[in-house]
Structure 1
Amino acid sequence: MVFFAGVCVGQYIRGNLTQLSIQQVSIANCIFETYYEFLLIAVINALVQSFKRRYQDLNCTVLTVFQETESVEKWPALAQDYRILGETVDMFNEMFGWQIVLIMFHFGLEMVSTLYFNFHVLVEKGKADLVGRLGNFSLCIWILWNFLSIVLSIHDTHKESRKFIGLLYTMQDYFEEGSMEIGALNRLVSYSKNFAPKFNGAGFFSINRAIIFSLLANVCTYVVIMFQIDFNETS
């Protein structure tokens, strides 16, 4: 409902400013492609959240198993679950890697377009009505929210996955050095490190919180460039 409300407001504003019909505005704004992207983002977030919950369950299971006595034979099963989750993340990267690349690219373009439209058309062209400003500001926030939802969900999932390795290291403090349990834990750590999840965009970049500032910096750079080009043309 929020998506459709935002789309309708955006169409209304751009239709009034450009004197185009609803059909023409819909075609120009690629509304159907935007709706497909909205659904794709929802699917990606749902999958990433499921990975996060599975890693959380695995970490809780680790604590439960290590509290039991004579449960060394259960430890390899934990590493196997961790391996399966890591391989599932690799499959996720193969299925949605290129989609994530295009989504990130589209986010950048939409942010640049929205900010330029907000400052240039609504202000400099003398059409700075309240509805127009609120609509474009809402659209900018909506784009940024979708971008942050993907990146932060992936970051939280990766954080939960690292807790598994951290728990294995922590459990070594409860056993005597050189014991059978310490040897088993060292083998589990070495094995599990090979299957740590790595979210990426089709192999071009890793997805983490650093990409947020990278995208925002690029958006600001291109907005400034567009203003400079526009200023040179008018002068």
Structure 2
Amino acid sequence: MESDGSAYFEAPVGKELYFQALDPNGLAVQSMRSGTYLHPGERLTCLGCHEPKHRAPTRTPEVPLALQRPPSRIEPDLDGSNPFSFVRLVQPVLDRHCVGCHQKEGALDLAGVIEGDYGWTRAYRNLAGEYGFYFHVRNGSFPDGDHGGGRTLPGRFGARASKLLGYLNANHYGVHLSPEESHRVTLWLDCNSEFYGAYEDPEAQARGERVIPSLD
């Protein structure tokens, strides 16, 4: 995104696009809460969420900065982000920094043991209910309803609204996460705190195998 708020990029065909506005630390400030697709050769322009959708955009004397350069290419994020996988994205951070001390002190068990009716890991079961975004919807991140109204409130959902964010620094028993490790956890929180990334083969996903969804 450019300094004037404009963006211009080449989108993959037939892949769902999900937009979030991020702060300088990579945390989501606002989320679009809906997906977008493009067909081959299609061009898509976004005027803004609150602009009249049946009117042409107002012309401005300045050309947006993003349109003064070639389109950017979308770069893949960390392993475990596409397709989404709690086991691949978050569990390595927990194994490296949390599991040993938590088990020794009798604290919240964050082991990657598969258990329960849904095939989740123990770590996910213990984290998602109280610290995850989707499950902890009564923290003011949604204006109404059990699972939200039509929008999220800026800065009050995902990682920013989760109690887990306060444990990801040295104040929590000297924990030191690298920028990548911190991003792994906050990305999980900002992306609805999911466990699975596909409807197919949940057993393989729980084991940490990469399963590509047939519908993407």
TM bracket (short chain): under 0.3
Larger Rg: 1
Question: Quick check: which one's strand share is greater?
Answer: 2
Q: Tell me the TM-score normalized by structure 1.
A: 0.22
Question: Quick check: which one's helix share is greater?
Answer: 1
Structure with higher RCO (Cα < 8 A, 6+ apart): 1
Q: Tell me the TM-score normalized by structure 2.
A: 0.24
